[in-house]
Amino acid sequence: MQELLAPWYLWLKAAHVIFVIFWMAGLFMLPRLFVYHQESAPGSPDNALWVDRERRLLRIIMNPAMIVVWVLGIALALGSGAFSQGWLHAKLLIVLGLSGYNGFLSAYAKKLARGERTLSGKSLRLLNEVPGLAAVIIVVLVIVKPF
């Protein structure tokens, strides 16, 4: 498998980083949209606009980017033989957590669309820190490879 992917490795890596940026941008943006959404009056025209914006962000950018990140990341790991390295296991665990976070955000967008506002603005602002913390840890794992 390594021989098959070797000529494409740098292209795969570049595409992986590009789609990570798209996905992370969405992970940072969606909780902020939720804050604004919750400030709009239920049933108002603004509320309907927020529902549409959140749905589009998830369907057009975040979910496809997450899938591409996983596919390219697995291809890169196969192409480099990194599955035997501890740092990759830790990175995969964090990316799995980010994927769950993406699912949580998707579920909360559906709740907001139904008019359910179960989280406070403060909670949503705190949730906005999750992808940043994950990004710091992932970058250190990938660049430093501490184990």
pLDDT digits (tens, 9 = 90+) for 97-125: 999 999 999 999 999 999 999 999 999 99
Report the pLDDT value the prediction gives residue 119, as an integer from 0 to 100.
96
Contacts by 66-75 with C-beta closer than 8 Å and gap 24+? 66/23, 66/99, 66/102, 68/15, 68/19, 69/16, 69/19, 69/20, 69/23, 69/95, 70/95, 70/99, 72/12, 72/15, 72/16, 72/19, 73/16, 75/5, 75/12
Report the pLDDT value the prediction gives residue 2, as an integer from 0 to 100.
74
Report the pLDDT value the prediction gives residue 5, as an integer from 0 to 100.
80
Residue 91 in marked binding region: yes
Regarding pTM above 0.85, the answer is yes
| CA nearest neighbour of 50 among 20, 29, 67, 64 | 29
Report the pLDDT value the prediction gives residue 3, as an integer from 0 to 100.
80
Residue 145 in marked binding region: no
- Residues of the chain below pLDDT 50: none
